[in-house]
């Protein structure tokens, strides 16, 4: 029966993509409803969508080539997709034979080696946001995009030093297992499950929307068809293969992603003669980059005499203008990673604490190398495609890497451009599949293991019942992901990724850290820390600059119109491009002057794009104050046991032979 369903899943997924061949072509690339959303880039794209304006026309910038398009060769791309899907479904068939117990389903029986887990962690962590979003951010905002790369690399030092080994030794399958060891298990598991589902839903929605937009833009697959296809595949991976299949899908994806990024980075380096000095000189002296910084980023309608806009692209502050924003972002990235449920689950898959440490070290090297490569790709795209050309295809910049692959490949031979683009499309598709599978597994584990088995059944469920509950909840979570993804098609979901990291760093991390290392920590601390940290972080994001504020858009447009009208009043003749900018500024002002944000605000109440600098301390304080206000002698007495357990691994289930 399993093989039959797996075969049916493969047929439905490939069939849904093939069916799209007969669908109508996608809308023009400039249509925001079609362009790959900025949502797949954590925190950054929301502001991109607010500040970006259409690129100048070719007449206004002679250095910019004619209007760009990005279209994949459907035959080659669908073939690549078919190969990726066939390989991963073969992994599911293999894994399904080995998934018999709850330990197999949630933690691959603890039989994953440190090296394998390191590659899987990297595959779980390097999402489409990293592959497409960060390189796009760098191509439009320069140095500030690089700060995202640094933040995620440093994050794994936190995970290695604080979380990896204790979590592996003290937990079993989920966040609730760690937190409930010396507290009242039922309320703690219930609240932990809610937090896990919230984080997973925020992140999953952004990934699903990204998948739909990517498929729609590149090969003309209708949005709903793409979402359903991705949903069917991820449900198949998780329901039948469990953690074993998810792990190997992530390993395969990480290998493909590193290979594609490395090859593309080599081609970028060859263009600069493998000379880093020449590479950055090309950036600083590019007229197109200078014009982009002037008009789009700094919004200077006319160049400021003596100001070097090209050099400014290589300096901080174009995107994260407030130093506190950089600090807050760094805190959320560094600490949020250690609180991500689908990352925490990975430490339960290895047989020893040594393997857990090894897996983090390997993941750090892979992730570090990858983010260095994305930096080269982002700057390379700015040089060879120009920011204006990138924004013609996608205003959020998320297609920069794809466009770069097509152009650099075509410079060698036209067919190589199509092949390289098709390969990266397939890699991006595999990336999304791997990440959403991990998220579905984390959410379903929270519901099935924490809520059903330990709260509803009070821990009295045999292995068959536990596995069945896990599979049913995985199907429900997967179906919900499909529905939410379809519903969010035309929504700005950029803030959802910011929400995921904000909740993970402000709610999850404080309670995990204090549970492992503070003797007085108890049930009141867990519940208070999770609820307050989650609510505060969500609230701050909803009133932050991540949201769209029409009156701010109108004010920016009015500034442009005022400068150009003043020049016109002084007797100067505006160029065709300046007249176009003036007309657009007036139209934007009229359209947005009376608008309000989703929460009916004229302007942000909280000035920073990421709430970490405020919400993380509040999460810690809430947990600490609640513990001191409602002390528990039982929790204090059990601290010695968990302290020994987290440092030695005594009591941890032994790995099953794989």
| Mean of pLDDT values over 53-61 | 38
Residues 6+ apart with CB under 8 A from 483: none
Q: pLDDT (tens digit, 9 = 90+) per residue, 80-92?
A: 888 988 888 898 8
Average model confidence (pLDDT) for the chain?
A: 80
What's the pLDDT band for 598 if we cut at 50, 70, 90?
confident
State the pLDDT at residue 224: 87
- The pLDDT of residue 96 is 85
Tell me if 558 is assigned to some domain. Answer: no
pLDDT of residue 14: 37
For range 207-227, the mean pLDDT = 81
* Predicted pLDDT of residue 493: 59
d(CA 207, CA 473): 20
pLDDT at residue 645 tops 80:
no
Flag whether 214 is in a domain.
Answer: yes
- Domain with 309, as residue range(s), is 2-54+83-95+114-549+596-648
Q: What is the pLDDT of residues 462-476, one digit of tens each?
A: 888 888 888 898 888
**Banded pLDDT at 67 (limits 50, 70, 90):** low
Per-residue pLDDT at 158 = 73
pLDDT digits (tens, 9 = 90+) for 351-367: 887 888 888 889 888 98
Q: pLDDT per residue over 130-165, tens digit each?
A: 777 788 889 999 888 877 777 777 777 777 677 777
Give me the pLDDT at residue 4, please.
39
What band does 282 get if pLDDT is binned at 50, 70 and 90? Answer: very high
Q: How many CB atoms lie within 10 A of CB 554?
A: 19
**How many structural domains is the chain composed of?**
1
Task: Retrieve residue 570's tokens.
Answer: 């002084």
What average pLDDT does this structure show over 62-91?
Answer: 76
Angstrom distances, CA of residue 516 to CA of 362, 556, 645: 24, 49, 10
Is residue 560 situated within a structural domain?
Answer: no
Structural domain includes residue 108: no
User: Tokens 């029409």 belong to which residue?
Assistant: 550
What does the pLDDT read at residue 145?
80
Q: Does the residue 66 lie in any domain?
A: no
Per-residue exposure over 563-596, b if at least 16 CB sit within 10 Å of its own CB, e if not = bbeebeeeeeeeeebbebbbeebbebbeebeeee
> Which of 34, 15, 467 has its CA nearest to residue 233?
15
Is residue 311 in some structural domain?
yes
Residue 478, burial from CB neighbour count under 10 angstroms (0-12, 13-18, 19+): buried
pLDDT (tens digit, 9 = 90+) per residue, 249-269? 889 989 998 998 999 999 999
Distances (CA, A) of 544 to 228, 416, 507: 32, 44, 18
Token pair listed for 45 = 């794209």
Give the model confidence (pLDDT) of 158-200 as tens digits. Answer: 776 777 778 777 767 788 888 888 888 889 999 988 888 888 8
State pLDDT tens for residues 422-444.
Answer: 888 888 888 888 888 888 888 88
Residue 527 pLDDT greater than 70, yes or no: yes
Is residue 233 in a domain? yes
Alpha-carbon separation of residue 538 from 137, 198, 417, 444, 649 (angstroms): 24, 10, 42, 22, 35
Burial of residue 270 (number of CB atoms within 10 Å: 0-12, 13-18, 19+): exposed
Owner of token pair 């074993």: 244
| E strand or H helix that includes residue 546 | none
Which residues have C-beta within 8 Å of that of residue 70, sequence separation ≥ 6? 29, 217, 218, 393, 399, 402, 403, 406, 421
Would 475 be classed as within a structural domain? Answer: yes
pLDDT greater than 50 at residue 491: yes
If you average pLDDT over residues 576-593, what whole number do you get?
84
Task: Extract the tokens encoding 386.
Answer: 């120009």
The answer, yes or no, to whether residue 37 has pLDDT greater than 60, is no
pLDDT at 394: 78
What mean pLDDT do residues 43-64 have? Answer: 37
The span from the CA of 343 to the CA of 346, in Å, is 5
Give me the pLDDT at residue 619, please: 94
In this structure, the dihedral spanned by the alpha carbons of residues 62, 64, 69 and 73, taken in order and rounded to 10 degrees, is: 110
CATH number at residue 453: 1.20.1730.10
Neighbours of 71 (CB within 10 A): 17
């Amino acid at each position: 029966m399993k093989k039959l369903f797996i075969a049916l899943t493969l047929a439905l997924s490939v069939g849904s993509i093939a069916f799209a061949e007969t669908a109508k072509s996608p809308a023009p690339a400039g249509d925001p409803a079609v362009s790959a959303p900025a949502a797949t880039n954590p925190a950054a794209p929301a502001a991109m969508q607010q500040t970006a304006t259409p690129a100048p026309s070719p007449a206004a910038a002679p250095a910019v080539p004619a209007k760009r398009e990005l279209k994949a060769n459907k035959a080659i791309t669908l073939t690549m997709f078919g190969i990726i899907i066939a390989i991963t479904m073969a992994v599911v068939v293999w894994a399904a034979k080995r998934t018999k117990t709850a330990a197999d389903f949630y933690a691959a029986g603890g039989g994953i080696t440190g090296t394998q887990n390191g590659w899987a962690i990297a595959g779980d962590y390097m999402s489409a946001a990293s592959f497409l979003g960060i390189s796009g951010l760098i191509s439009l905002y320069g140095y500030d995009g690089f700060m995202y790369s640094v933040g995620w690399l440093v994050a794994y030092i936190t995970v290695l030093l604080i979380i990896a080994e204790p979590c592996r030794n003290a937990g079993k399958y989920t966040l609730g297992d760690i937190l409930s060891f010396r507290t009242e298990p039922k309320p703690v598991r219930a609240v932990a499950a809610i937090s896990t589902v919230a984080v997973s839903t925020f992140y999953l929605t952004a990934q699903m929307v990204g998948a739909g937009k990517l498929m729609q833009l590149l090969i003309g697959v209708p949005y709903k068809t793409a979402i359903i296809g991705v949903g069917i595949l991820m449900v198949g991976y998780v329901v039948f293969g469990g953690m074993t299949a998810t792990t190997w899908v992530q390993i395969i994806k990480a290998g493909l992603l590193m290979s594609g990024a490395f090859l593309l980075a080599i081609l970028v380096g060859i263009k600069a003669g493998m000379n880093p000095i020449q590479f950055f000189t090309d950036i600083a002296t590019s007229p197109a980059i200078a014009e982009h910084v002037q008009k789009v980023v700094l919004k200077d309608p006319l160049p400021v005499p003596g100001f070097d806009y090209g050099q400014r692209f290589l300096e901080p502050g174009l995107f994260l203008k407030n130093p506190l924003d950089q600090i807050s972002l760094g805190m959320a990235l560094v600490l949020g990673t250690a609180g991500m449920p689908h990352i925490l689950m990975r430490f339960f898959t290895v047989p020893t604490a040594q393997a857990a440490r090894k897996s983090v070290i390997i993941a750090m090297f892979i992730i570090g190398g990858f983010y260095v490569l994305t930096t080269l790709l982002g700057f390379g795209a700015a040089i060879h495609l120009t920011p204006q050309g990138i924004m013609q295809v996608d205003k959020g910049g998320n297609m920069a890497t794809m466009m770069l692959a097509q152009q650099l490949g075509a410079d060698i031979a036209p067919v190589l451009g199509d092949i390289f683009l098709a390969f990266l499309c397939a890699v991006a598709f595999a990336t999304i599949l791997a990440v959403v599978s991990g998220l579905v597994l984390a959410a379903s584990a929270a519901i099935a293991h924490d809520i059903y088995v330990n709260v509803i059944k009070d821990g009295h469920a045999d292995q068959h019942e536990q596995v069945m509950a896990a599979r049913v909840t995985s199907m429900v979570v997967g179906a919900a992901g499909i529905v939410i993804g379809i519903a969010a098609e035309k929504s700005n979901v950029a803030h959802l990724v910011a929400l995921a990291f904000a909740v993970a760093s402000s709610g999850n991390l404080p309670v995990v850290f204090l549970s492992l290392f503070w003797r007085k920590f108890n049930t009141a601390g867990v519940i208070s820390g999770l609820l307050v940290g989650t609510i505060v972080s969500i609230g701050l994001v909803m009133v932050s600059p991540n949201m769209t504020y029409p009156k701010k858009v109108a004010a920016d447009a009015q500034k442009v119109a005022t400068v150009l009208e003043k020049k016109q009043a002084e007797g100067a003749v505006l160029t065709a491009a300046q007249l176009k900018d003036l007309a657009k500024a007036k139209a934007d002002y009229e359209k947005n002057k009376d608008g309000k944000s989703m929460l009916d605000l004229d302007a942000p109440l909280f000035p920073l794009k990421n709430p970490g600098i405020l919400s993380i301390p509040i999460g810690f304080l809430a947990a600490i104050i609640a513990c001191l206000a409602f002390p528990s002698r039982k929790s204090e007495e059990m601290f010695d046991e968990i302290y020994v357990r987290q440092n030695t691994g005594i009591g941890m289930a032994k790995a099953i032979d794989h």
